[in-house]
Structure 1
Amino acid sequence: MENQNVLDSRLIEKFEIHRDFTRVFLDAFVLINKEHKVLKFNAAFCQIVELRSIDIRRIDNLKEMLLTSLPGSDKSAIDQLLESNSPTRIDEVPAVNVTNRKNLTLIISSYPYYESDGKMLGACLLLRDVTAETNLQSKYKDKSIQSITDPLTGLYTRRYFEEQIDKEFERCKTGNVPPRLSVIMFDLDKFKTVNDTYGHQAGDFVLAETARILKTHSRRSDVLGRYGGEELLVLIFETSERGAAVAAEKFRLAIQNNEYVFNGTRIPVTTSVGVTLIKSVEDSKESAVKRADECLYHAKENGRNIVYVDFGSGQIPVQSFLASNPEV
């Protein structure tokens, strides 16, 4: 077995062929062997690990300067790169500067070097520190999410909800296909009584808990919104009349059967529900929401804790609709 120093000398020799390119690198680079020993590096690498050149040569091993990970893997990003048979790049690598335990986000690219017999000697790693950019993007992403979500429930705002209806109309017009978009409107029964009896904090809890239930029982493609006060809305894309009716009844039952317990007190909660279906690009979000709202009014007038639907023949209870439209 050849001496490691001999192998390292060969690796450095192969690397030196590309040395002129490294002089113009803006990114950090470090040449390591398979055991992560640092053989060559530039000033930008010193900045990433926050060490002087003399300290890097003394420490010697990359793992003692920089720790990397890969989400979902028990291997480090560096180990993964050293196993690759070709030049490879990994974006958004979580890393830790060992010197000061600072968390970093890196883009790491590798260029492996081999013996003539195919045995890997090591690799030149290019490292770009994108921590600041990633943090800035996260900050703006958080602000963007905040601008379209209700802070209490985490559901989308009325404006965002209506924009999604408009986008679906545009999609269907462009594709010359009819929409199959269900609008389901919820109104918590006797919500004022909840606030008056248990306090406004209890009312906030009921709204937030109801939003959680809707999220739990919805599909990822559904759009859930708070339309105002205790009115909540769900958009279900690509659904049938029966599918919309079944989904609305499922939501109603989930709310009815949930145990709302606030500060040790159980609060009875039910909801009245109105459902309609947008089936034509000639329809509008205003008329669809109005139909759902009128169904909601009928549910309130007919005992509450019930679903009413209107699919073009007026408002009828969901059970009557399902009975006359059995599953095929």
Structure 2
Amino acid sequence: MENQDVLDSRLIEKFEAHRDFTRVFLDAFVLINVEQKVLKFNSAFCQIIELRSIDVRRINFLKEMLTTKVPGSEKSAFDQILESSVPTRIDEVPAVNVTKNKELTLIISSYPYCEQDGKMLGACLLMRDVTAETNLQSKYKDKSIQSITDPLTGLYTRRYFEEQIDKEFERCKTNNTLPKLAVIMFDLDKFKTVNDTYGHQAGDFVLAETARILKTQSRRSDVLGRYGGEELLVLIFETTEKGAAIAAEKFRQAIQTNEYVFNGTRIPVTTSVGVTLIRTLEDSKEGAVKRADECLYHAKENGRNIVFVDFGTGQMTAQNYLASIPES
């Protein structure tokens, strides 16, 4: 087996062919062998790891200066790169400056150097520190999410909810298809009594817990929103009258059977539900929400903890509607 110093000499010799390019690099570069020993580097690399060149040479090994990981993999980004015989790029690599215990986000690309028989000698790594940009994007992303979500329940706001209906209308018009969009409206029964009896913090808990239940019972494509107060809404795309009625009943039952326990006290919670379906391009979000709201009112007037539907032939309970459908 050849001496590592001999292999490193051959690696440096191969690297020298590209030496002129490295002199004009704005990004950091570092030449490492298969053991991650640092053989060549530039001042930009020193800036990333915040070390003097004399300290880089003293530490000697890249993994002792910088650690990396790839989400979903047990191997580090450096390990993966050194296993690849082709140029590789990995974006948004979580990294840690070991000597400063500082988290970074890097873009890392590599150019491998191999023997004629394919044996890996090492690689020249290019690194770009995008920590500041990533943090800024995350900040704006967080603000964007905050602007369309209700802080208490984590559900979408009324405005966002209505925008999704408009987008579905536009999509159907563009594709010349008919919408099949269910609008399901929930109103927690005797919610004022919950606040008066157990306190407003308990009321907030009930709303947040109900939102959690709706999330666990819904599909990823469903849009869940807080319409105001204790009114919650769910949009279900590409569904039928039967599918909407079944989903609404499933939501209602999940809320009824859930154990709402706040500060050791069990709070009984039920909900009244109104359901309708947008089936034509002549319909409107205002008309659909009004129909769902009127069904909700009938549910309240008929004992609460019940689902009423209106699919164009008048209002009826979801149970009666489902019972009237012929079995296929």
TM-score, length basis structure 2: 0.99
Structural RMSD (CA): 0.7
Q: Distance in 1 between matches of 2:263 and 2:98?
A: 45
Q: Distance in 1 between matches of 2:5 and 2:71?
A: 34
Q: Distance in 1 between matches of 2:104 and 2:84?
A: 23
Match of 1:311 in 2: 311
Q: Distance in 1 between matches of 2:327 and 2:233?
A: 25
**Higher mean Cα deviation, 242-251 or 2-11?**
2-11
8 Å CA contact retained: 2:85, 2:114: no
| Map 1:1-328 → 2, pairs under 5 A | 1-328=1-328
Q: Distance in 1 between matches of 2:319 and 2:118?
A: 71
Q: CA deviation at 1:72?
A: 1.6
| Matching residue's letter, 2:31 | L
Gaps of 5+ in 2: none
CA 1:28 to 1:316, structure 2 compared with 1: closer, same or farther past 3 Å?
same
DSSP-derived class of the 1:193 partner:
helix
Q: Deviations over 1:290-325 (max 9, x none)?
A: 000000011001110000000000110011100011
CA 1:159 to 1:327, structure 2 compared with 1: closer, same or farther past 3 Å?
farther
Q: Distance in 2 between matches of 1:89 and 1:235?
A: 40
| Matching residue's letter, 2:34 | K
DSSP-derived class of the 2:210 partner:
helix
Q: Distance in 2 between matches of 1:126 and 1:87?
A: 11
DSSP-derived class of the 1:309 partner:
strand
Q: Deviations over 1:220-254 (max 9, x none)?
A: 10000000000000000000110000000000000
Q: CA deviation at 1:73?
A: 1.2
Q: Distance in 2 between matches of 1:201 and 1:327?
A: 46
Q: Deviations over 1:71-92 (max 9, x none)?
A: 1211111000110120000001
DSSP-derived class of the 1:103 partner:
strand
TM-score, length basis structure 1: 0.99
Q: CA deviation at 1:138?
A: 0.6
8 Å CA contact retained: 2:225, 2:232: yes
DSSP-derived class of the 1:185 partner:
strand
Q: Distance in 1 between matches of 2:265 and 2:54?
A: 66
Q: CA deviation at 1:327?
A: 5.0
Q: Distance in 2 between matches of 1:326 and 1:274?
A: 23
Q: CA deviation at 1:326?
A: 4.3
DSSP-derived class of the 2:147 partner:
helix
DSSP-derived class of the 1:116 partner:
coil
DSSP-derived class of the 2:245 partner:
helix
Q: Distance in 1 between matches of 2:164 and 2:36?
A: 51
How many correspondences in the alignment?
Answer: 328
